[in-house]
Amino acid sequence: MVSIQTADYGEHSNTTKYSQKTNEFKMKTLKELFLDEVGDMYDAERRIVKALPKLVKAATCEKLKAALQAHLKETEGHVTKLEQVFQSLDQKAKGKTCKTTVALLEEGGDIVTEFKGSPALNAALISAAQKVEHHEIASYGALHEWAKLLGNRKAADLLEEILGEEKAANATLTELALNGSDKEALGECGCHNDSEKECSDKQPATVRRGIQPAGMNRKRTGALV
């Protein structure tokens, strides 16, 4: 009798522990994943708002300056739109440190410091900016699809607008690279010595492609964050 009672007690105790573990490690839902990623991008966009003016100041190509300045205005709008996405879910806007953006902006700071005065500066700045854009495009692409799956049309529309602007900004940077900044980096154009000159008077390229990353294996010397 005693041994049976002991076994029953032990079985009950193990069941309780298992139940507690199950609750503790409960799998997160798609909605929770969505909110986590929105928080990640909310933090990212606010960091980018602070970083872009430094890139604008560093650029020596007037067309690049104008493109970055225009995207700064869009990015400020992205912050507001993300706040609206939170509102659509009855949530308070809250950022979650975006480690990827922090690292990319640190690299951008290195470029500003190390390539100052170099004919390769504008090409390097475009490369750094496009790395940020590619991360944003991937993130907003996923968020847009998740919003649709969750049946949140308002959030989906807002995220689609942001995604479109990020893609357009990336395309503009590619055109600038193809139409002047990459050649300038080879010393084929002297506009890096005159901030009043535009890097190219050519029409926008019809073929769009990525550009190669600049400044690999650099020692950390600055940051945009």
Domains identified in the chain and CATH numbers:
28-193 (1.20.1260.10)
More reliable by pLDDT, 116 or 159: 159
- pLDDT above 70 coverage of the chain, percent: 68
Contact between 87 and 201 under an 8 Å Cβ cutoff? The reply is no
Contact between 103 and 223 under an 8 Å Cβ cutoff? The reply is no
**Tens digits of per-residue pLDDT, 46-58?**
999 999 999 999 9
Segment 86-111 mean pLDDT: 95
- How does the average pLDDT of the chain come out, rounded? 81
Q: CA 26 to CA 122: how far, in whole Å? A: 49
**Banded model confidence at residue 86, pLDDT cuts 50, 70, 90:** very high
For residue 51, what are the contacts with CB-CB under 8 A and spacing of at least 6? 105, 108, 224, 225
